[in-house]
Structure 1
């Protein structure tokens, strides 16, 4: 239940703290930011300054064009390195506690954190690291992050095939020419320990080549019995000055993760049942092994003071192997009213190779008294994904490994969710029989141009368009019959325009209105066997951005509507029941309001707050109930965090903070359809969570502690069927870091 009094109390407590006003510092033109350190083009380090929590002054790099936040007709949010450090952020869930309307939608299997925004899932196509698409089907390591950027709403003009909710860009720490670094060790609840390492410096005396290396290791158990995880992370980068106007940045990023799959339980006939929070009901020998390697080379050349070129080459590879029990209430394994669950097994392996080339030209010029800020670019992407699916047990494929059933059974075993799980009764299995190998090569090309036209300092127009072309081929090899299906090809193209009007009565206020659209590639065929065309999604956004009190307070309000008027859904023509045969006849609509606040009212004090409302419904459908809400999306989210650092006096070096979040009511379960009238939605209440942090810096040492979920709130993360996992109970962590 939402407790607004706690939010108000925390805000009043934070605002009543007193300290001297924030010192102002005028800094020269810079080329890079490293947490709270500012460097000049010569690599010199400037004195420490107080930076705004959301870096409202700085253009988000995910926007490509370098447009300042006040000139961009779109909502943005930036979680700076200072916030990451102050809040002791360790997971994506921690990070997104600062971005209202962008949230963790689910945690399927416990080995990933699924992100959503404005009612739309933000999958791997919407998740970027250093501007390159990043596979988010595994837990993301945060120790190497310099900042995180969110560009809300449509970004199709910049990145092509992205969903309408927005994009997330994770920016890693960059090389520096001065020598330094940090080593740290974190320990916490559930036997977690995490050593980290970060070092940077120059490779030559002339300071033409700089390097940086981040690394981390994580080993942790869980509040869930039998669940454990292990991660290795390595992030090297190099910056070379190839000339007066040319720089080459080469970055590597490697993550290896192993986790016990945990698909939860506790649903009987679409009702949540009371079982212990720590009870694990998966197979203890199950695993989800995942690794991802990305190498990015970014060449930047300044043609003049006003024009520059950026050329990005990137290669990404990921490999996952899932072997575990199937989800509860799936694959025929329905949990009965007595709690009995006939568990089946699943295995899948996925490998993906991804290549990117991207060229951007940015510049400023004038036609008479009208100023232009131009972006023109092109990108080419190539995917090749290999998915190996394995056969589970069925009436035609019996399991003979259970001693209690020598005659064979069409499932693995039976457990009862109301009883403590005993892994000693398990029968370990080395593998399953392969079923299919699906190979999907995808070629994608895009070309785009946009221009920020300043008619005066008060009236500006951002207009642009992108053309995207995509060629998708699907090849299926069936191991059971040793045959290949006929190749299926889909050729898709779309134009993605954006136009936005910006009115700025003063330099501290900006009012904007934007129209944009994006496209969503559809799978399946129409009733005639032809590939479906993409769905075109229209988005309208209106907002106001404000700077107050000498840029000590930033307040933004955004209102939006997103409409998919040609949603792909199963075709019912001629009594069809094949879910792969579809028609573009449905419609969904997402409407919402977002409020973002960030403030540095006094030296040492940072406040971040926000609220969002979103309602996403089926407007037209031949399958779902018109007017019903889509699953997983909370109507309300809110956040309020405050951190105070003593910068003088006997308490100098001490800091403390509170992090408050509210995650609103939403639905799990399955939406009722005409074909499945027994499906039901499961309403989940919203919940409030408070975390607290305490840190002390003495000379080169920093001691940090954090208490999360202080009130031990019990609620659930939603999976993609009708299976739920409880959130973590009250837990703590402590870390010590040495800076050199």
Structure 2
């Protein structure tokens, strides 16, 4: 975007109220060769009271300096004595600050405000860019620089999304090593996982608030995507061990601007979108942003269509120089044809991209509405309070054939015949959240602290109505046009299905947590914290009599009650041999409460499974921050996983088996996930930007009475790799106004060895003899996606052309052995944008 930016080259002297300037000795600083040093800390603010990030603070007359953090704070080691610091940035006056520093002591300056410069520049294009290890994810709740954090983190910023023309979340995830799409059940969502663990709705966030990921989120509204790999239980309680994902939407700005655009592509894809922002009227206190889109498309899948509408309004209120309130919401309506893929026969896939097995009138209609209020107030230069209140409404109605399974597998005329059944569900969910965090930066003697203390509470109210599943007709999976008729007693359609069960849930959770980043020395830091979580999961299941109306025969009800609590510790150590390198190691754990229906062999509740995680790695900023390269190794073990108690083992009757509770479970399983991840990112340098990554993962049963030791868990690729390279020709064509807006790039994404199907079980008869299991693995083809893009920008107009999956690779995302969804073929799209 183009701006008129005031040139800021300032020179300010801030003096204490005591007037120490008159008494200040004439020597401004000691010789740099002195061994007697101290530290200066402080906080820089903008004129409106906001923290001034990435402002230069340097020792006058030397090359020694630093930049301010996200909260405007800085710390700089200087020689003892009277010193002058020069604070400068683009768009403000450079200011000179005098301070006396005692040997071995820390001098803390009072907060000071930058003054705007008066000199004007010609129109320039400003591109702000930070390295991978300079971007602090907001979902981490603490102002910890990534190099100080003993955890793998990654952020994908808006410019990358625009360069790559990301349409779905899977497009963005292709830039993150070790986070991948594990399935696409029904074609209505993208199921995400990392390190062998699924990202449920408990692991997916929008602006720091959980959201229901049963719907594909809208990518056009994103400012960035943040990933915390590994355990985040200390911050958010009940989350799976693989990590968490946070989608950060676009925020209000006081400067007026925006854009309108249109994207068109293969298979009838049309997507107009808009984004406007600015101050409300001439206000200096209230700003707004409104963006949205409409989308419709056919598909490479026969009979599949989709349309969606999305709106994302937000307001920023500057309540005082130290207090901000952001109110934001969004609405997404997504209607599409449910699509469980091409099916399999006897754990075999018969390749096809277009074969469609659902009924012509199948529908999946989803509405999702959210509202979030975030209040941030800076109490003083040390402490800040952040409070969040949020509400989300999720409503879905599904009318679809069941997942395709062939019940005849012998070769012959009936090979692939399938008795197709219909299903129908209605789901409503209200989600509420309240959260408050207190953060502070302070010192106790020579030890620095970045402290987080917080509490949160949330609640899910759910209402799920399931209709009876009934046979409808018979078709052949391999030839859907060959309908085999409607057997006797089959239903006539979705409207003929009757109520089966209604489940009312009211999950309530609360947590209290504290975490402290302790700077023992300038290059050794310790992160320690603890969380206590409490969770109630009551549910009432109403079962309606078969083939009767609810009004004439009331449902029977079964009440389920479950109460859990758990402690989640975290301990990490960081060593920085140089300022641009950090070596770290950490331990943390997470917990997985059991479902309400899970009982032990006496009918009681099983406690949560506890999952231990060990992580070690190295983070590097190379070439003055132009390139970041991070490597992380991890070892995650769940040594008390719940698994079904088998009636017989290899030595006969299982003493833990109770015939009165044949579905009882025990904490006897062990699953281990281990692997390594490499993330590489560059800042744009001479027009070149690079993102690359690699991950290896092995998630397997390492002890089980149900599965073979060493057998891998399904859906998790052993290897993934990604590479994105873009080049802007501005320097090459710097004197050519017509050509300097040209850019081009390519992305590659490799997904390796994966397994689907069903894990083979250990089954024994009454004498302890092994019985052949009918479950089998289903190996999925590796694939490599290659995309190419060309873009051109001239003044306010830009156009981008993308060619996706140029090699026309074919592979599948599977659920169990039946929902086999082909990946998209070669497609083309064009995006035209006008900046307001």
With normalisation by structure 2, the TM-score equals 0.80
**Superposition deviation, residue 139 in structure 1:** 1.3
The separation in 2 between residues aligned to 1:383 and 1:547, in whole angstroms, is 42
Post-superposition offset of 1:32: 10
| Cα distance in 2, alignment partners of residues 44 and 182 from structure 1 | 28
How big is the alpha-carbon RMSD for the aligned residues of Structure 1 and Structure 2? 2.5
Partner of 2:481: 421
2:728 matches 1:652: no
Q: Does 1:236 align with 2:313?
A: yes
Output one character per residue of 1:687-714: Cα deviation in whole Å (capped at 9) or x when no partner.
Answer: 1110011110011011011000000001
Q: Is 1:446 paired with 2:505?
A: no
Displacement of 1:414 after TM fit? Answer: 1.1
Query: Aligned in 2, Cα 1:670/1:284: closer, same or farther, shift over 3 Å?
Result: same
- Cα distance change on mapping 1:731 and 1:578 into 2, 3 Å: farther
Q: Please give the alpha-carbon distance, in whole angstroms, between the structure 1 residues aligned to 2:712 and 2:576.
A: 37
Deviation of the 1:266 alpha carbon? 3.9
**Which range moves more in the overlay, 263-272 or 149-158?**
263-272
The corresponding residue for 1:102 is 179
Q: Secondary structure at the match of 1:430?
A: helix
The answer to whether the 8 Å contact 2:408/2:416 transfers is no
User: Aligned ranges for residues 269-348 of structure 1 at < 5 Å?
Assistant: 269-274=346-351, 276-329=352-405, 337=411, 338-348=415-425
Aligned residue runs from structure 1 range 461-610, under 5 A? 461-480=526-545, 482-523=554-595, 524-572=598-646, 573-574=656-657, 576=659, 580-600=663-683, 602-610=685-693
Displacement, 1:720? Answer: 3.9
> SS at the partner of 2:759?
coil
CA, structure 1 residues 357+638, in 2 after alignment: closer, same or farther (shift >3 Å)? same
Q: Which residue of the partner structure matches residue 437 of structure 2? A: 360
718-727 or 59-68, larger mean C-alpha shift: 718-727
Return closer, same or farther for 1:420/1:347 CA change in 2, 3 Å cut-off: closer
Residues in 1 aligned to 2:659 and 2:728: alpha-carbon distance in whole angstroms:
64
> Which whole-Å CA distance do the structure 2 matches of 1:705 and 1:242 have between them?
44
Please show how residues 98-497 of structure 1 align to structure 2 within 5 Å.
Answer: 98-274=175-351, 276-329=352-405, 337=411, 338-393=415-470, 411-419=471-479, 421=481, 428-480=493-545, 482-497=554-569
Q: Secondary structure at the match of 1:265?
A: coil
State whether residues 473 and 484 of structure 2, in contact with CA within 8 Å, keep that contact through their aligned partners in structure 1: no
**1:429 Cα offset (Å):** 3.6
After TM superposition, give the deviation of residue 525 of structure 1 in Å.
Answer: 1.1
Q: Can you give the 5+ residue segments of structure 2 that lack an aligned partner in the other structure?
A: 1-53, 58-66, 73-89, 93-112, 487-491, 546-552, 647-655, 764-771
Aligned to 1:661: 749
Preserved contact between residue 669 and residue 723 of structure 1 (Cα < 8 Å): no
Is the CA contact (8 Å cut-off) linking 2:474 and 2:483 kept in structure 1? no
Cα deviation, residue 474, structure 1: 1.3
Structure 2 counterpart SS, 1:82: helix
Report if the CA contact (8 A) 1:135-1:318 is conserved: yes
1:66 aligns with 2:140: no
Q: Structure 2 vs 1, CA of residues 363 and 424 (structure 1 numbering), >3 Å: closer, same or farther?
A: farther
Q: 3-state DSSP class of the match of 1:412?
A: strand
Instruction: Give per-residue Cα distances to partners, 1:107-137, cap 9 Å, x unaligned.
Output: 0011100000000000110000000001111
1:476–1:601: structure 2 CA closer, same or farther, 3 Å change rule? Answer: closer
Q: Report how far residue 576 of structure 1 moved.
A: 4.7
Distance 1:527 1:707 in 2: 56
The yes-or-no answer on 1:718 pairing with 2:827 is no
Q: CA deviation at 1:490?
A: 0.6
**Residues of 2 paired with 1:30 and 1:497: CA distance?**
27
Aligned to 2:77: none
Q: CA 1:422–1:303 in structure 2 vs 1: closer, same or farther (change >3 Å)? A: farther
Q: Does 1:677 align with 2:754?
A: no
CA distance in 1, matches of 2:389, 2:483: 48
Per the alignment, residue 700 of structure 1 pairs with 796
TM-score scaled by structure 1? 0.90
Name the SS for the 1:344 alignment partner. Answer: strand
In the TM superposition, residue 553 of structure 1 has moved relative to its aligned partner by 0.9
Shift of 1:66: 1.4
Q: Using the alignment, how far apart are the partners of 2:434 and 2:829 within structure 1? A: 41
Structure 1 residue 432: Cα displacement: 1.3
Q: Deviations over 1:412-470 (max 9, x none)?
A: 11111232538999965425111000111011000000000001111100000000000
SS across alignment from 1:158: helix
Query: Is contact 1:53-1:607 (8 Å) kept?
Result: no
Tell me what 2:766 maps to: none
Structure 1 residue 230: deviation in Å? 0.7
Q: Distance in 2 between matches of 1:199 and 1:423?
A: 52
Could you list the structure 1 runs, at least 4 aligned residues long, displaced by more than 4 angstroms after superposition: 24-33, 38-55, 333-337, 422-428, 575-580
State the distance in 1 between where 2:303 and 2:320 align.
56
Residue 578 of structure 1, CA deviation: 6.1
Indicate if the aligned counterparts of 2:727 and 2:745 stay in contact, CA closer than 8 A: yes
What is the SS of the residue equivalent to 2:357? coil
Distance verdict in 2 for CA 1:511–1:473, change over 3 Å: same
- Assess, with a 3 A threshold, how the Cα gap between structure 1 residues 625 and 121 changes in structure 2: closer, same or farther: same
* 1:400 counterpart residue number: none
Gaps of 5+ in 1: 1-23, 394-410
CA displacement, residues 175-214 of structure 1 (integer Å, 9 cap, x when unaligned): 0001111000100001010010100011142410000001
Answer yes or no: is the 8 Å Cα contact 1:475–1:484 preserved in 2: no
